Amino acid sequence: MMAFISVNQVSFAYNGKSVLDQVSVAIPKGEILWVLGPNGSGKTTLLKLILGFYRPDAGTVLVNGCPVLNLPSRILARDIAYVPQVHHMAFSFRMLDVVMMGRIPHKPFFFRYSKEDEHLAESAMARLGIVHLKNRPYTAVSGGERQLCLIARALTQGARTFVMDEPVSGLDYGNQIRLLTIIQSLAQEGYTFIQTTHFPDHALWMDGQVLMLKNGKVVREGSAENAITRTSLSDLYHLDMDVTQTRSGIRVCVPDALTSQIKKKSRTDTSNDQTKEGRNRQSGFVLIKSKKGDKGKWGRDMSM
């Protein structure tokens, strides 16, 4: 499959300090790419190079075979939408107004929003479950709701490729799962997603491709199933952890330290139960169960 976005041997430095070193990745249309790595590994910088915000010191970034730096911003915005990690707005625009700003790349210099623009914006908000907030000021809602608003704006923009910097940041667990479900649904419709994340579990749940960055270099690349392993995660985060499979077949990442604590607690609970049972028996109590599988309760043995 031909790559829609190609990053070829790209290097970049801030004030002489190397941030990315000969990074390459090819992203076809309809793909989900998860960019994993510790803080300071160059994840956000890679996104900004893909968007043409920065000029690489070496290498090239191509969109549909054309250097991204040669594409006018308005034209690029019709194909690629950006959802930043943190966004501050000085004026109290309505949530609906912020979402409708996604239509700007399709407008002339002087314009008014149409009924169709408003319909597209409300549909996007409804899909993300925030249409009830359309008349609320953007500055008066929670950080998670602002994040959903920006994603709705990206949908309204009409672009088929989303570049998202930690999209679940600030979202509660319920909204995280809802957003992941929406991303997966859109990917099945042919949308392309390039997103950074600190949750390798999300990549395992949704599959797709994984790019692991460490100290500005690519240390692992491939499908989520093959790239996310005990060895790769331990090397990436300097933390011993395992990738285990639940009874339902879902794979999850579990730190060894947490596993040890759970096992230790289980042994302690078992030991306490055995001690309690011995004391009860010495006092003439027996464990009475009302039905099979019941944990039972302690009562005096009336047969004694």
Structure confidence by residue, pLDDT tens digits, 3-24: 899 999 999 999 889 999 999 9
The torsion angles phi and psi of 181, rounded to 5 degrees, stand at -65, -40
- Name residue 42's amino acid: G
Judged against a pLDDT cut of 80, whether residue 261 lies above it is answered with no
Judged against a pLDDT cut of 60, whether residue 157 lies above it is answered with yes
What is the rounded CA–CA span in Å between residue 55 and residue 114?
36
Q: Which of 161-165, 196-200, 215-219, 272-276 has the lowest average pLDDT?
A: 272-276
Q: Which residue has the higher pLDDT, 203 or 269?
A: 203
pLDDT band for 28, please (50, 70, 90 cuts): very high
Mean pLDDT of 164-190: 87
Cβ distance 246 to 254 under 8 Å? no
Cβ distance 58 to 219 under 8 Å? no
What pLDDT was estimated at residue 303?
52
**Within 13 Å of residue 87, how many CA atoms lie on the same side as its CB?**
26
Mean pLDDT of 219-228: 93
**Please, which residues have CB within 8 angstroms of residue 229's CB and are 6 or more apart in sequence?**
243
pLDDT band for 148, please (50, 70, 90 cuts): confident
Average pLDDT, the chain: 85
Counting Cβ atoms within 10 Å, is residue 12 exposed (0-12), middle (13-18) or buried (19+)? buried
What pLDDT was estimated at residue 291?
56
Q: Which of 34-48, 52-66, 206-220, 262-276 has the lowest average pLDDT?
A: 262-276
